[in-house]
Amino acid sequence: MEFNMVEILGYAASIMVAISLTMKDIVRLRVLNFIGCALFTAYGVMIDAWPVVATNGFIACVNIYFLAKMQKEKKAEAMKEAKA
Protein backbone atom coordinates (compact mmCIF):
# COMPACT_ATOMS: atom_id res chain seq x y z
CA MET A 1 0.00 0.00 0.00
CA GLU A 2 1.47 3.32 -1.10
CA PHE A 3 0.75 6.53 0.74
CA ASN A 4 1.17 9.93 -0.78
CA MET A 5 1.67 13.12 1.21
CA VAL A 6 -1.97 14.17 0.85
CA GLU A 7 -3.21 10.91 2.39
CA ILE A 8 -0.64 11.16 5.18
CA LEU A 9 -1.84 14.70 5.92
CA GLY A 10 -5.44 13.47 6.08
CA TYR A 11 -4.54 10.65 8.46
CA ALA A 12 -2.47 13.00 10.64
CA ALA A 13 -5.41 15.41 10.83
CA SER A 14 -7.78 12.59 11.81
CA ILE A 15 -5.40 11.35 14.49
CA MET A 16 -4.95 14.84 15.96
CA VAL A 17 -8.69 15.48 16.16
CA ALA A 18 -9.31 12.04 17.68
CA ILE A 19 -6.55 12.51 20.28
CA SER A 20 -7.86 15.98 21.13
CA LEU A 21 -11.23 14.52 22.04
CA THR A 22 -9.63 12.30 24.69
CA MET A 23 -8.15 15.26 26.61
CA LYS A 24 -9.51 16.25 30.02
CA ASP A 25 -7.64 19.56 30.01
CA ILE A 26 -9.65 22.00 27.87
CA VAL A 27 -6.57 23.99 26.80
CA ARG A 28 -4.82 20.86 25.56
CA LEU A 29 -8.04 19.77 23.84
CA ARG A 30 -8.35 23.12 22.05
CA VAL A 31 -4.68 23.22 20.99
CA LEU A 32 -4.68 19.69 19.61
CA ASN A 33 -8.06 20.21 17.98
CA PHE A 34 -6.79 23.43 16.38
CA ILE A 35 -3.77 21.57 14.96
CA GLY A 36 -6.04 18.82 13.63
CA CYS A 37 -8.43 21.33 12.07
CA ALA A 38 -5.56 23.28 10.51
CA LEU A 39 -4.24 20.04 9.01
CA PHE A 40 -7.73 19.15 7.76
CA THR A 41 -8.04 22.61 6.21
CA ALA A 42 -4.77 22.09 4.32
CA TYR A 43 -5.93 18.58 3.36
CA GLY A 44 -9.23 19.96 2.07
CA VAL A 45 -7.41 22.52 -0.08
CA MET A 46 -5.17 19.78 -1.51
CA ILE A 47 -8.08 17.54 -2.47
CA ASP A 48 -10.26 20.46 -3.57
CA ALA A 49 -12.94 19.70 -0.94
CA TRP A 50 -14.24 23.14 -0.02
CA PRO A 51 -16.82 21.98 2.55
CA VAL A 52 -13.92 20.35 4.46
CA VAL A 53 -11.93 23.59 4.19
CA ALA A 54 -14.83 25.77 5.35
CA THR A 55 -15.89 23.58 8.26
CA ASN A 56 -12.41 22.92 9.63
CA GLY A 57 -11.27 26.49 9.00
CA PHE A 58 -14.24 27.71 11.02
CA ILE A 59 -13.58 25.24 13.86
CA ALA A 60 -9.90 26.25 13.89
CA CYS A 61 -10.97 29.90 14.29
CA VAL A 62 -13.35 28.93 17.11
CA ASN A 63 -10.51 27.13 18.88
CA ILE A 64 -8.23 30.18 18.53
CA TYR A 65 -10.99 32.45 19.84
CA PHE A 66 -11.54 30.36 22.96
CA LEU A 67 -7.81 29.87 23.56
CA ALA A 68 -7.33 33.65 23.40
CA LYS A 69 -10.33 34.18 25.69
CA MET A 70 -8.98 31.67 28.22
CA GLN A 71 -5.55 33.32 28.11
CA LYS A 72 -7.10 36.74 28.68
CA GLU A 73 -9.13 35.43 31.63
CA LYS A 74 -6.03 33.78 33.08
CA LYS A 75 -4.10 37.07 32.87
CA ALA A 76 -7.00 38.99 34.44
CA GLU A 77 -7.14 36.48 37.30
CA ALA A 78 -3.38 36.77 37.83
CA MET A 79 -3.68 40.58 37.94
CA LYS A 80 -6.50 40.28 40.48
CA GLU A 81 -4.41 38.01 42.68
CA ALA A 82 -1.39 40.30 42.39
CA LYS A 83 -3.45 43.27 43.59
CA ALA A 84 -4.89 41.35 46.54
Q: How far apart are CA 36 and CA 12, in angstroms?
A: 7
The model's pTM is 0.88
Asked if 33 and 55 touch (Cβ cutoff 8 Å), the reply is no
Q: How far apart are CA 17 and CA 31, in angstroms?
A: 10
Q: How far apart are CA 19 and CA 11, in angstroms?
A: 12
Q: Cβ neighbours of residue 11 under 8 Å, at least 6 residues apart?
A: 3
Q: What digits encode the pLDDT tens for the residues 53-77? A: 999 999 999 999 999 999 999 999 9
Bigger pLDDT: 79 vs 2? 79
